[in-house]
Structures are given as structure tokens and as C-alpha cells.
Amino acid sequence: MEESQRRLLQIHRLKLVTDLQPEPLYSRLLAKGIFTKDMIEEVQNSGTRRNQARELITDLQTRGTRAFPAFLESLRETGQHNLADLLGKGLSFQPSSSISVKPVVPVEGFRPAQQDRPTAVSVQCTDPDLLGPRKPTNKAQKYDTVYRMEASPRGCCLIINNVDFHPNSHLKPRMGSDVDCESVQNLFEKLCFKIIVRKNLTKQLMLEELRSLAQKNHAHFDCCVVVILSHGNQAPHRQFPGAIYGVDGTPPIPVQHIVSHLDGSHCPTLREKPKIFFIQACGGEQKDTGFHTAEEVDSAPDKSPETTSLQTDATPYRAEDEPDAVSSLPTTSDILVSYSTFPGYVSWRDKKEGSWYIKTLVRVFSEFAHSEDLQTLLTRVTRNISENEEAIGVYKQIPGSFNFLRKHLYFS
């Protein structure tokens, strides 16, 4: 979608949320290929008509170049001509660039009046309300480049731990995930977060928990963290790829929709505050065997993952989960999504010790979070996992992140 079209939807957002009738639009937007059936269901599950309208307008801006004209056409097909005309007129309006401006001709002998300068007087004032604007202190200047992290607690940390999947889902139990859950809970408790743990949630319950988190008042918090431990699969998206399963095994939730619950449109009290997502799930079914560095070629042992206690969080790729998605909403600022593995690849988990990603993340954060910013910490995690000596000769894994933060983030 073009930026001018997104601006129109934002300008008329209140009118659209107030008057839009989304229900008749669903079948038409589905037939036009703008949304998938799963995405329509998620919009319908968002609640009241106003909430559905709000969700529809937000999701529409993340779709392809055909989204806006298809939306206008669908509005007219369903008799919502007032909204179609409103958006159509705004799209066709172009400000004129042919305005003539007469040059200002100076008048001979005229001089602009000079402002009288007050005489400097030495006055001592102890009332802060009378002191006027003050120069920013070092602390105030610091917050130009560093997020404020002084609230106690710093914010909420929601942990969704999906371990036991329904038999008809054909998804294996995620043995070792409880170890991950406990260790990450202990970590963020030490980092002064308010912990919310939810276990074995269906897709619908996951969405409800995310909506509940978004509806909280975060005004007195400085940050929000979401940790998801579950099965996942590949779902292409230019902004936040991947999708996460609930324990019922129904079509997974695209990470894009998970993240959108806390963006600037859906959670106003978290605007300009960091929203951090840690996702331990597979991004696909590919297994990375890595490559040997020069000094390892002759010494690497011949191991097989079948002889270890390793498992993956992979599930078959379903291409229809998220087609033709495009990126970029201004509301995604101050968001970072950290993935346990590269999109398209499996993520390894030990049945007894937990996943490589969470185990390493907790260890690195526990050791360095008091002095290093989040991006540096994640770089350490990536390096440690990618160079995991225990995995030489078996399979490799490399985490990564999609970073839309505007400042440095220090947990301490």
C-alpha cells in the first residue's frame, strides 16, 4: 500500500471505526485475495463491531498494493458509498503548486522595529515555577538516545509456554519447554518485571491473552516483554515473518498479528516505549548443517542428532497462512522481535536442558544485562549459539532479530 493511501486511512480512522460495517466486507476482501480466511477469522474474533473495524483498518495497511483499491471497491459493493467517497476524494486531491506569490519590496526609509532588550538584573529565585525553562540535565539528554527504564516494576512480561498439544493437532509435546519457562521467568523477575505466565493455550486463548495485555494501563511502566515458547512454521512476511501454533494445532497466528497487539494503534499507553518479543519456535523445516572452519575440518566429530536428546519446534510449511504481505506501519516503532532461528529453519531444544536459544539468552542476560544494551546482548547470544561447540558435526542454529527500536535499551 502506498504511503498516501495509508495516510488517508489514518486521517479518517475515527470516521471509519465509527461508521464502517466490516461484516459484509469479509467475503469480498477474501475473494479479492486481500486477506486469507484465517486473517478474517482473527478480525472477527477481535470483539465488537468497532473493534473489528479498527482491526480491519490496521491490517489493511499491511497488505499489498491492491489492498486500497480493493477496499474502495468492496465499500461500494456493500453500499457504504459515504466512506468510499470520503476516501476516494482524499486520494484524488492534490495540492496546487501554481500559487503565485508576490515578492516583498522594501520601502525606502523603512526599518523594522527593534525589540527592546530587558536590562539584566541579578535576582535570586527559589520558586521552581518561576525559574522558567531550564537547560536539560545530563539525565534528560541521556533519554534522547536511551529508553527510560526506571519504573518499578519495569513493566509486564507475558510468557506463553505451550508444551502439551492436542492429539488431533499432530504436534509433538515440547519436552524441555518447562525448563525454558522457569529460567526466563527467573531472569525477568531479577530484571524487575511483573511476570504473567500462561501454559498450554489454544490459538484463541493466545489471542485473548495478547488483547488483555494490550488493554492494560501501561502508563506507569517503561517497557513490555512477551516471550512465546511453542511450535511454529514458516510464514513469509516482509515485516515480521513466521507463525506460532496454539496447542489446538489450528492454523497458526502470524507473528505480525502477535506483534500488532502492542503497537501504537492498539496499545496507546505503550507508545514510544520499547516492546520486546522473544520467540522460541521454528521458522520452518530446513536443518542447518553449517560449515567447518579451517581448524575444524579434520577434528569435527561425526555426530547424529538422532543419538542425542534434541528436538525441533518445526511443523510443515503452509504457504497460504500469510501470502502477499508487505511491511511498514509507522506504529511499529519501538518494537524488537528476537527469533530463536533464521526464517525457514528449525530451532533446537533439548528434552532436559531446554532450548539452545533460551538457555543461552538467560545466561548472557544474567551476566551482562547490568552493563550492556539489548542489541549487544542479542549479538552475544547469536555468536554463542552459532559457535556452539556441542553442536559441531550435528546441526547448527543462528538466532536473529527484526529491530525497530529508536534508542538503546538497557534493562538495568
Catalytic residues: 231, 282
272/263 Cα distance (integer angstroms): 10
Residue at 286: amino acid letter: Q
Closest CA to 269 of 217, 225, 210, 222: 217
262/284 Cα distance (integer angstroms): 25
Peptide bond into 153 cis (omega under 30): yes
| 38 contacts 321 by C-beta, under 8 angstroms | yes
Helix (H, G, I), strand (E, B) or coil at 271: coil
| Kind and range of the H or E run holding 348 | strand 348-350
State the residue for C-alpha cell 516483554.
225
Query: Got the DSSP string for 122-166?
Result: ------GGGS---PPPHHHHHTTTB-----SS-EEEEEEE-----
Burial class from Cβ neighbours inside 10 Å (0-12, 13-18, 19+) for residue 14 reads exposed
Helix (H, G, I), strand (E, B) or coil at 81: helix
State the residue for C-alpha cell 541521556.
142
Residues 176, 182, 188, 193, CA torsion sign: positive
CA 112, distance to chain mean position in Å, is: 54
